[in-house]
Structure 1
Amino acid sequence: MSGDQIGNLIYLSVLGAALLTWLLVRGRLNLNKMAQHMAAWVLIFFGTIAAIGLWEDVRSTVLPRQSVFGEEGRIELPRAEDGHYYITLEVNGTPTRFVVDTGASAVVLTARDAQRAGLATGDLVFLSSAMTANGSVRTAPVTLDSLALGPIVDRRMPAYVNGGEMETSLLGMTYLDRFARVEIANDRMILQR
């Protein structure tokens, strides 16, 4: 259990004890009514705990997801809560999450994602560098066998592996330039071939 979870448990326990004390003091003359109120508060308490525990599952089914319209060559991405657009593509057949970055000139993989995609990260030669918000980082050029989302497949895709720490792989302009239209409207990014 993490420190935040312990703190939340203590807070909820103190709140529950305060409510129970209030019910006992207020309803000491009418035990039947007090039992009804206590049952209602117990249900509210456990309902709240269940809602908190299931929030991630509920959120993942309620929030919009990326949509692929293969026949039309169109991809639609919803804006995430942090304001960015994310897409999951298959890199050499391995699902990989990217943040769409129009400020990045190329596709840049984290070392972890490159390894998962079957690239020999131990053999990479970091010949180039890139300027990021955190300063200069070393990069190694690679060629991806495939970068796919459903029926939309790009083969022999040039990319880089980042030699520094990076949380999420970047989908930059070398990929976005393959689309005839890139549009942002109504909290959705639309990529059209």
Structure 2
Amino acid sequence: MSQSPNRQHRDNAHPWAKYTDSKVPEHLEDSEDPEFSRSGSIAFVVTLIFGFGLIFFFTKTRGAVTGFDKGDVVWAGAVTIFIAFWVRSMSGNGLKTYAKQALIWFGIILACVTLYAYKAELGAVKDRVVSVLIPDQGMAVSENSHVYTKAGNGHFYIQGQVNGVPIIFLADTGATNVVLAKRDAERAGYDAETLVYDRQASTANGLVDTARIELDELRVAGFVLDNLPAYVNDSELDESLLGMNFFSRLEGYEVEGDALTIRWRGAKQP
């Protein structure tokens, strides 16, 4: 069947028409817009120059913000190349698009540098938030002092370690000694069932039987006590108590508002 002149004209005017119902040939499918190639190449080269220029700057000016050593140069170079290829792939709309992408990446880098510059302040903010959400962990004020926030029930709780086992204590300056609940004593390596409960202690609930033990190590924050006398309560004690034989070995402690601050001289005390 012969085609009409009008149909032939339309086919000649639109050379892609004959491929509408079939796969586009590879030699046509792989063709690249010259404008895209040119702007993408410019973006790629400029990004590489800028990125490696920054790497060179930080390598030569160690300490300006942060210095790069050989390991840093490797990963920073890899990141720069990745960003360059990504920017090239996004630069099909011309240099204006590239400029926008470059500004975005510059903003990201600037934000990261700013966060790094304020890492100490941000770390302090993080510690303060944690101390409110988890009061028993407290917050380091200095190398030899720690502050704890009052819990919702009005008490202060302090997380310590007995023989390397984490235990949460109720800070109780009304208690003469450190007192472990049975379950905490078991966790710390003491057999609560075989202890001799031959002593008595006065509590808010009356007299209770206790057994004397010796803690190989009690660690609170950076403060460590070795061979500390303590007691295990024979009754169902809800929580272990941090008593005065701990607080009296500190350099000092004070309660101000909702904060309990403890201070010590050295890391280890007899």
Specify if TM > 0.5.
yes
Which ranges of structure 1 fall in alignment gaps of 5 or more residues? Answer: 1-58
Instruction: State how 1:121-136 maps to structure 2 within 5 Å.
Output: 121-136=192-207
Query: Which 4+ runs in 1 deviate beyond 3 A?
Result: 59-62
Contact 1:126 1:139 in 2 (8 A): yes
Matched, 1:119 2:190: yes
Q: Secondary structure at the match of 2:208?
A: strand
- Identify the match of residue 140 of structure 2 among 68, 76, 80: 68
Greater fraction of residues in strand: 1
Which ranges of structure 2 fall in alignment gaps of 5 or more residues? Answer: 1-128, 265-270
TM-score (norm 1): 0.65
Offset of 1:69 from its aligned partner? 4.9
User: How many residues are matched?
Assistant: 134
Asked which structure has the greater CA Rg, the reply is 2
Distance in 1, matches of 2:174 and 2:236, equals 18
Q: Secondary structure at the match of 2:193?
A: helix
Distance in 1, matches of 2:141 and 2:229, equals 25
Give the alignment's Cα RMSD to 1 decimal.
1.9
Offset of 1:181 from its aligned partner? 1.3
Q: How has the CA–CA distance of structure 1 residues 137 and 122 changed in structure 2, closer, same or farther, with 3 Å as cutoff? A: same
- Other-structure match for 1:164: 235
- Other-structure match for 1:40: none
Greater fraction of residues in helix: 2
Q: Bigger relative contact order, structure 1 or 2, given CA contacts below 8 A and separation 6+? A: 1
Instruction: State how 1:54-65 maps to structure 2 within 5 Å.
Output: 63=133, 65=135
Offset of 1:136 from its aligned partner? 0.5
TM-score (norm 2): 0.47
Offset of 1:150 from its aligned partner? 4.0
Contact 1:70 1:152 in 2 (8 A): no
